[in-house]
Amino acid sequence: MSRTIIRGGRVIDAAASLDAVRDVVIEGDRIAAVAASADVRPDDHMVNATGLVVSPGLIDLHVHAYEWATGFGLPPDDVGVNAGVTTCVDMGSAGAWTIPGFAHHIADRAVTEFLCFINVTLIGSVQGGGRGGRNVFDPEFTDADAIVRMHDRFPSLVRGIKTYAESGGWSHGWTSFLTTARQAGDAAGIPLYIHTGELLAVDEDHRPEPRSVMREILDVARPGDILGHSYSGMPDGVLGNSDKPSAELLEALDRGVLLDIGHGLNFSFRTARTMIGNGLLPHTVSSDVHGALTGEHDESPCTWSMAGTISKLVALGIPLVHVIGASTYGPARVLKMQDEIGTLRVGSRADVTLLRNVPGPWVFRDSAGEELATESRYLPELVFRAGAAVSPSRRLLRDVLLPLGPNPLGHQRSRVSWRAMTSCWIWLVPS
């Protein structure tokens, strides 16, 4: 069997506490070795990774890619391997009534590995909440038993439950989203991903006090549950408008509740700096990429990405080693797949992402319009998905690529296809 040797890159593997220049050897669809200098055979395919970061395949724990079934779903492989990500978790686009369609049309057909957290509502997030949140986000359309049945039917696909706790739903008295999800999660033995921060239309006559929503969340959250959008700037979010985390939040984190970035529309540099300054780094990094919430297959508002999120967090002062670990091993542990993905340990699946640190002035902007100047950013250069090489098109990486400009890496860009995925072509990375 022919092998591929990824030679001389900076290998970051949190599962092995490794940050060093190493060779990574791929044989078939498995990692065969990680060594200071691998022995080369005459028929080995060599990839020059000098100057690149070589990590386990990136895992994006929060995407929306139920394309065409949801108005805001993006093309699956454009948020996956074409964005440098080998495993994506669709976060609540599908509910119990629509999971079979997601399995057939997305998970079974994408080059990227797709898993999901099932929505607490039966139909899922069909159109971003519909008319002010009603017709989809309605407690009458939740059913814990149906969630458990779908998990039992698709146990390798359904890895958790997406639910909501925010001012809009609370103003309508829709607190059962959280309690129903808790009931289903306990029965199925899977974690909750709790959306935090205002989302649905608020009944202003019954707007809750912002911090009261988070207190209710933390009363329900258990070890392994995930607080989404942890660096958002919404007043009812994880931090809110405070300058320090609450005692209730710190206690929840101490008992094993997790923080996910879930970049999305409300990512805030102010919140990020405050959380980082208080030592609250994300357990998982994800993008929450999606199209227009009230449009129909309109991807134009999506101006953020997994690569951009990684770049912003590093620019904000989080060490790259932590950010890569939270983009690989962290989500792999959430998914209970840490022996298969999120690592470069020998015998694990050969999902690998090669990132280039592109030098040069760059400016990021957050949801409030605040600017963050940096001297570099990270772009995916090459991906191996189950041992097969894919050259990412980076089509949706608008936050780290010049608009309508040339590819700053001068590297071939191609739209991935199943034929290319399963071929034995190896793309040589320029040094």
* 216 vs 166: CA distance, rounded Å: 10
- Asked if 18 and 132 sit in the same domain, the reply is no
Of 274, 300, 334, which residue is a domain's last?
Answer: 334
In terms of domains, do 280 and 398 share one?
Answer: no
Residues in Cβ contact with 185 at an 8 Å cutoff, skipping those fewer than 6 apart: 160, 161, 191, 192, 225
In a domain, residue 142? The reply is yes
Residue-range definition of the domain harbouring residue 130: 58-334
> How many domains are there within the chain?
2
Residues 46 and 82 in one domain: no
- The CATH number covering residue 26 comes to 2.30.40.10
Q: What is the pLDDT of residues 396-414, one digit of tens each?
A: 999 999 764 443 333 333 3
Q: How confident is the model at residue 423 (pLDDT cuts 50, 70, 90)?
A: very low
Cα(39)–Cα(303) distance, rounded to whole angstroms?
43
Q: Does the pLDDT of residue 416 top 80, yes or no?
A: no
Cβ atoms of 384 and 356 within 8 Å: the answer is no
One domain for residues 83 and 197: yes
- In this structure, the number of other CB atoms found within 10 A of the CB of residue 405 comes to 7
Q: Are residues 225 and 285 located together in one domain of the fold?
A: yes
Whether 148 maps to a domain, the answer reads yes
Q: How confident is the model at residue 294 (pLDDT cuts 50, 70, 90)?
A: confident
The verdict on residue 383 lying in a domain is: yes
Q: Are residues 36 and 148 in the same domain?
A: no
Higher pLDDT, 429 or 8: 8
Alpha-carbon gap, residue 228 to 25, rounded angstroms:
35
- Same domain, yes or no: 158 and 294: yes
Q: According to the model, what pLDDT value does residue 426 have?
A: 29
- Does residue 362 lie in a domain region? no
pLDDT more than 70, % of the chain: 91
H runs (alpha helix) in 247-403 = 247-254, 269-277, 306-315, 320-326, 329-334
Same domain, 80 and 190: yes
Query: How does the average pLDDT of the chain come out, rounded?
Result: 91
Return phi, psi of residue 22, to 5°: -145, 165
Cα 300 to Cα 32, 128, 292, distances in angstroms: 41, 16, 7
pTM of the entire structure?
0.92
One domain for residues 403 and 320 = no
107 band by pLDDT with thresholds 50, 70 and 90:
very high
369 inside domain: no
Mean pLDDT confidence for 160-166: 96
Answer yes or no: is 196 within a domain: yes
What CATH number does residue 145 fall under?
3.20.20.140
* Mean pLDDT for the stretch of residues 347-354: 98
- Whether 352 and 417 map to the same domain: the answer is yes
193 and 65 together in one domain: yes
Residue 201 lies inside a defined structural domain of this protein: yes
Quick check: is 280 in a domain?
yes
Same-domain check for residues 286 and 143: yes
258: left (phi over 0), alpha (psi -120 to 50) or beta: beta
Dump pLDDT digits (tens) for 192-236.
Answer: 999 999 998 899 999 999 999 999 999 999 999 999 999 999 999
